[in-house]
Amino acid sequence: MWIPTEEEKIGVVICNFRSSICQALVLEIGETVQILEKSEGWYRGFSSKKPSIKKHKVDLFHKLRHVMNELIDLRRQLIQGHLAQDQTREIKRHITVRLDWGNEHLGLDLVPRKEFEMVDPDQISVSELHKLHISSRHCGQQSTNQSDSTRQRHGDGCRVPVSHHLFINLKSFTYNSISEDADVFFFLYDTREAKQISEKFMVKLNKNGGPKNPEKVDRLCALFTDLSSKDLKRDLYIVAHVIRTGRMLLNDSKKGPPHVQYRRPYGCAVLAMSDVFHTITDLKEEKDFVLKVYTCNNENEWYQIQENIIRKSNTKYSAPSTNYGLIISLQLLRGELEQIRRENQAVFNRALALTRKLGFPDVILPGDIRNDLYLTLERGEFERGGKSVQKNIEVTLYVLYADGDTLKDCISLGSGEPNTSEYRSFVLYHNNSPRWSEMVKLPIPIDRFRGSHLRLEFRHCSTKDKGEKKLFGFAFTPLMREDGTTLSDESHELYVYKCDENATFSNQGLYLSLPCCKEDFNSCPNLPANLPFQRSPKETFWVSTILCSTKLTQNVDLLALLNWKAHPDRVLDILGRLRQISGEEIVKFLRDVLDTLFCLLDDNTDKYGPLVFQSLVFIINLLRDSRFYHFRPVMDSYIQNHFAGALAYKELIRCLKWYMDRSAEVVRQDHIQEAMRALEYLFKFIVQSRILYSRATCGMEEEQFRASIQELFQSIRFVLSLDSRSSENLVFTQAALLNSFPDIFDELLQMFTVQEVAEYVRGTLGSMPSTVDIGQSMDVVKLQSIARTVESRLFFFPESRSILLPVVLHHIHLHLRQQRELLICSGILGSIFSIIKTSSMESSVQEEVEMMVESLLDVLLQTLLSIMSKSHSVETSRGQRCPQCTAEITGEYVSCLLSLLRQMTEIHFHHLLNNFHSKEELKEFLLKIFCVFRNLMKLTIFPRDWSVMRLLTSHIIVVTTQFLSPALHKNFSEADFDFKVWNSFFSLTVLYINQPSLQLEALGPAKRKKVLDKHGDMRVMMAYELFSMWQKLGDNKPHFIPGMMGPFLGVTLVPQTEVRNIMIPIFHDMMDWEQRKNGNFKQVEAELMDKLDSMVSDGKGDDNHRELFSLFLLEKIEQETWRETGISFVTSVTRLVERLLDYRDCMKGDEMENKKIGGSVNLMNFYKSEVNKEDMYIRYIHKLCDLHLHAEDYTEAAFTLLLYWELLQWEDRPLRDFLHYPCQSEWQRKENLSLLGIWNLSLPGVGFPVRDFI
């Protein structure tokens, strides 16, 4: 445990410090370090020279500690086991995100996961494993993506909008001049459309500014729900109206007695939502805002005070004093309301007032039952009534039932407060033309809506001593018209009838018989002369209404359709107007509308059939709209449980076939395209109808039904086979058909066997034109349809897969040959491989793999070579991009190839290699696959932390190589020897063994053991394969001497004893063959020493290699006739390696300069005197010179260069460019060296390297 130091704060380094521990600092003598903590003999701190290292490490440490604490807490929640399923899933997602973050920052491997659990690579295909590696980077989005993909497979693929919700919390209202109770109303306002878009949230405050109800302290909060993304882009404001309750005039005690209370407008505050979004950057972040409350200068303009404030018309309102206004906090939430409730339980426990949007949200849920009528008191025109001043008018609203009783608690001034039975408007002082624009909600029960009406009473509020409120008139309006429709969403001008305080309303029939408005008056022209109430002709009152109901309708056409039996002569006209009915109205009455349509179909099929079909198509497509997507389960439930049209299938099939057959004739095809989009639900109705008919008749007319389906599929194939290149409309028709086609498979499986459905589908897919005959857009649609076919339930059955696979592979093959739509094709192949891997225990899978090998293997290799070459060219030419050369598409196709190779057994390889028509074809195949394998190891296809993927790739490559090498030996050895294919093989094996991902020595013990247990040491497996193939070369070995000397030497330098034991004897073979050919092995000697020098300098090789090299070769040479020269050669190489290792150790460590110089001199002398390699001798002369220059020993540098000078003559012999020397004659180079030596000797303080002089 690390403990902060108390005394040890500063340290001075007394000797150089290097450690194998990666976290340890590298320190030099004399450096100072600042010590922070200590633990068991170790200090933690940072060097004063490199404080940034400390900062980075400390920051990472604190982040990791925070993440670890989070993980411990999340794990505790899981172990407790008290979580709901959704909560458990969400916690697992959080855990996975944090684990992946920690692994990434600690340089650990990425762990592929599925559903937040680690996967076993042996149980899934390589394609799926590749996708999991990609998705594990973004596991927070994985569940969403999967649900979206599921929706695309089983629905129409539309995206359901995400709802947003605004949380508002009133913290305080700081005012000092009202001293009266007040009501504060919050709502959302769209200034561009100048209208309120939400209900109101009401807060009742006492005269001190606190909540009037003590229980609501710190609980004055609301949630404005169901805001769409489109709403958030509006020019929205939060508006707060402050209505005080008290005297008529705030500062005039004479205006009315104190016991009479009036609701009076006081002030308004606004806050732009754009400011809110700018301040709140995180969705779950809660921020405070201060809203200044402005007072209105003229009450006549109160109705538009928020507009004046927003427009900054400052002459129409007064600004408040300092520290005066509403303090609120806001938080923006996103997602379904139930999810928000689960994630923010603390918020919902604070008596949260749900404040809904006016009208329906973007997503209408089937269970969302509403019956809200929003009434707005707009304005009125009233007479003076003989008074010298204008009236103070108060409006009282009642909701009354047919029996005259007042409906209790059916008026809501705003969420957050209980409903009331009456509503009193605020009063505008001395105003006979008041404009209120005050909205209330009327949540009237559905069973009380018919027969109920609204009564609005008008009173003058006197400010005299008595403070009387005198009734002088009233208005009314029924809520529902005689035709069954409700009040329309518009402004209504109501008649005002005169009355006084003595008027009685106990018998509402006295006034309900009167016209309530002008339209009502026109419908009853013969009114009696002696009416109980007289209309005031100069007085009118305006209200506006908005209905938001899932049970009532304002649409006359919809009611006419539902009640068609009352007007049978108008049915055709009513069906024709169905499209004009809004979608909201139709989904509210979905079951009733469908019952009506099928009832009409049963009544007269010939007369109504085509129009019913069109109407049904319109309704089905309506449910594709994102707003009504959630009603699809309602449609499914209707079909399964309520649909009773046993004869409907005949007309539906007939109409659908008629539409398809006309696709080649008509120019406008909108109606045909709509029918194609509705194909899924049309088939649902057809199949269910046939099931009902079959059940009722014990299976009668089965053959006729099958024949009609067969004919329908002939029409489908006919539509798809048409040449659409010259007709854009036909392209859209074919695209709509292909998009909907996979959705009908499950319905067909209810009526037909798996094989029968597969035959239908195969015939349809086979009727599509090839890629060369259609445009690119149809190409994409065709492949997307095939992709959904592969992902469908039908494809999972082995008996159907054997029927469908050939036609799918045919289309994929054509696209890969032409290099078109590669990304979609890879997705289809990935799905096929995943299914085959899942079904690998079934016997049919072997035949399917054989089919895929024949169709795909060669074209996959060709595609990969093309992609890789383009990727390489893009990397070398900066600034250019090729869409199909990205790492994503390369990885997709690599995983597809590996999936196929992994599924292949020995039998598959045997068939593959024996089915080539000629050796030239076999050679071409081997060169392709070896080239692809080499590219996999040379190019960075998979990131370094994809350890599971990289190891599995290596395993598949070595197993495949073991299957291919016998064919190489059998077909290209002895007289048929082919250097190119053998060289390709050896290059592959060398690259494979040297892969960084296979160097187990660099891994920790635990990971090394895990890899060995899973795969073994794959370097050894490939080394055995390499050695075996070398031995089989026979007399053709000299073709690779000395060319393969360097690569094979690199393999022996791999720090794996068994690999070295296998490979070192090959050098004896090379020496023996060159001895036979040339009588010596000078070439082998020269190549070996050149490569050893460069490889050991690069950090390869060790004493173990030196000892094994000497031991094995000396043992092999012992029996040879050229024993003496062999032993001399091995001894020289051994001594060279020894000096190279010494030199490397001197140069990489902090050794003294003398030791570095000594190592260089030893090597230099070795190359000159023992092996006579002049080039290497000259190379080390210059390395020694650089060491002297670095030590500022310019005299020694000059004398070192003199060694090279002595080798040169004053002749015109041309010399090639070498080291830093250009091409020049021998005397010129000697002259340059002379000048450089003289310069260094004469100016010892300013020596410089050779390359700066030349």
Burial per residue of 936-974, b for 16 or more beta-carbon CB atoms within 10 angstroms, e otherwise: bbeeebbeebbbbbbbbbbbbbbbbbbbbbebbbebbbe
Average pLDDT over the chain, rounded to an integer:
85
Please, which pLDDT band fits residue 881 given cuts at 50, 70 and 90? very low
Q: Is the domain of 146 the same as that of 168? A: no
Please, which pLDDT band fits residue 366 given cuts at 50, 70 and 90? low
pLDDT (mean) for 274-279: 84
Task: Give the per-residue pLDDT at 877.
Answer: 46
Asked which of 721, 752, 783 is the last residue of a domain, the reply is: 752
Q: Is the domain of 594 the same as that of 658? A: yes
Is the predicted pLDDT of residue 553 greater than 50, yes or no?
yes
Q: Is the domain of 550 the same as that of 411? A: yes
> What are the tokens at 791?
């992902």
Asked which of 1016, 1038, 1060 is the last residue of a domain, the reply is: 1038
1129 dihedral zone (left: phi>0; alpha: psi -120 to 50; beta)? alpha
pLDDT (mean) for 1235-1247: 69
CA distances from 503 to 93, 399, 475, 533, 684 (A): 69, 18, 13, 9, 63
Task: Give the per-residue pLDDT at 179.
Answer: 81
Task: Give the per-residue pLDDT at 133.
Answer: 87
Residue pair 672/621 in contact by the 8 Å Cβ criterion:
no
Asked which of 731, 752, 773 is the last residue of a domain, the reply is: 752
Identify whether 845 is part of a domain: no
pLDDT (mean) for 713-732: 86
Mind listing the pLDDT tens digit for each residue in 976-1004? 899 999 999 999 999 999 999 999 988 88
Task: Give the per-residue pLDDT at 143.
Answer: 37
Quickly list DSSP for 295-349.
EES-GGGGGGHHHHHHTT-TTSEE---SS-EEEEEEEEEES-HHHHHHHTHHHHT
Q: Is the domain of 171 the same as that of 280? A: yes
Please, which pLDDT band fits residue 964 given cuts at 50, 70 and 90? very high
Mind listing the pLDDT tens digit for each residue in 532-550? 788 888 899 999 999 888 7
CB count within 10 Å of CB 1115 equals 11
Gap between the Cα atoms of 833 and 827, Å rounded: 10
Q: Is the domain of 560 the same as that of 709? A: yes
pLDDT (mean) for 224-245: 91
Is 566 or 575 the better-scoring residue by pLDDT?
A: 575
Gap between the Cα atoms of 1092 and 1060, Å rounded: 15
Task: Give the per-residue pLDDT at 612.
Answer: 93
Mind listing the pLDDT tens digit for each residue in 775-809? 667 888 999 999 999 999 999 999 999 999 999 99
pTM > 0.85: yes or no: no
Residue 536 identity (one-letter amino acid):
S
In degrees, rounded to 5, the angle at the alpha carbon of residue 997 between the alpha carbons of residues 992 and 1002 is 120
Identify whether 57 is part of a domain: no
Closest to 285 measured CA to CA, from 331, 329, 218: 331
Which residues sit opposite 169 in a β-bridge?
Answer: 221, 329
**CATH code, domain with 1219:** 1.25.40.410
Q: Residues for the chain: how many in total?
A: 1254
Find the range with the poorest average confidence among 59-68, 536-545, 1139-1148: 1139-1148
CA 147 to chain centre: 11
Is the predicted pLDDT of residue 31 greater than 50, yes or no?
yes
Q: Is the domain of 1141 the same as that of 1193? A: no
Please, which pLDDT band fits residue 363 given cuts at 50, 70 and 90? low
Please, which pLDDT band fits residue 52 given cuts at 50, 70 and 90? low
Residue pair 350/193 in contact by the 8 Å Cβ criterion:
no
> What are the tokens at 303?
């109705």
Task: Give the per-residue pLDDT at 161.
Answer: 67
Find the range with the poorest average confidence among 21-35, 315-329, 331-345: 21-35
Find the range with the poorest average confidence among 610-624, 659-673, 683-697, 1076-1090: 1076-1090
Please, which pLDDT band fits residue 159 given cuts at 50, 70 and 90? low
Identify whether 861 is part of a domain: no
Is the predicted pLDDT of residue 1101 greater than 80, yes or no?
yes
**CATH code, domain with 17:** 2.30.30.40
Find the range with the poorest average confidence among 165-174, 217-226, 960-969, 1139-1148: 1139-1148
Task: Give the per-residue pLDDT at 791.
Answer: 94
Task: Give the per-residue pLDDT at 177.
Answer: 66
Q: Is the domain of 1096 the same as that of 1230? A: no
SS3 track for 675-694: HHHCHHHHHHHHHHHHHHHH
Mind listing the pLDDT tens digit for each residue in 439-497? 999 999 888 888 899 999 999 998 876 778 889 999 999 998 877 788 888 999 999 99
Is 561 or 899 the better-scoring residue by pLDDT?
A: 899
Is the predicted pLDDT of residue 930 greater than 50, yes or no?
yes
Task: Give the per-residue pLDDT at 1148.
Answer: 67
Identify whether 810 is part of a domain: no
Identify whether 196 is part of a domain: yes
Q: How many domains does the chain have?
A: 8
> What are the tokens at 563?
């009640």
Please, which pLDDT band fits residue 748 given cuts at 50, 70 and 90? very high
CB count within 10 Å of CB 1133 equals 21
Gap between the Cα atoms of 882 and 208, Å rounded: 69
Identify whether 588 is part of a domain: yes
Is 240 or 209 the better-scoring residue by pLDDT?
A: 240
**CATH code, domain with 294:** 2.60.40.150
Residue pair 862/928 in contact by the 8 Å Cβ criterion:
yes
Task: Give the per-residue pLDDT at 176.
Answer: 57
pLDDT (mean) for 221-231: 89
Supply the range of the domain harboring residue 232.
Answer: 164-355
Identify whether 1172 is part of a domain: no
Task: Give the per-residue pLDDT at 677.
Answer: 94
Q: Is the domain of 545 the same as that of 580? A: no
Identify whether 813 is part of a domain: no
Find the range with the poorest average confidence among 400-404, 636-640, 718-722, 737-741: 400-404
Is 30 or 679 the better-scoring residue by pLDDT?
A: 679
Please, which pLDDT band fits residue 1232 given cuts at 50, 70 and 90? confident
Q: Is the domain of 1061 the same as that of 1209? A: no
Q: Is the domain of 1211 the same as that of 1238? A: yes
Q: Is the domain of 988 the same as that of 1087? A: no
Is the predicted pLDDT of residue 149 greater than 60, yes or no?
no
Q: Is the domain of 964 the same as that of 1108? A: no
pLDDT (mean) for 815-839: 90
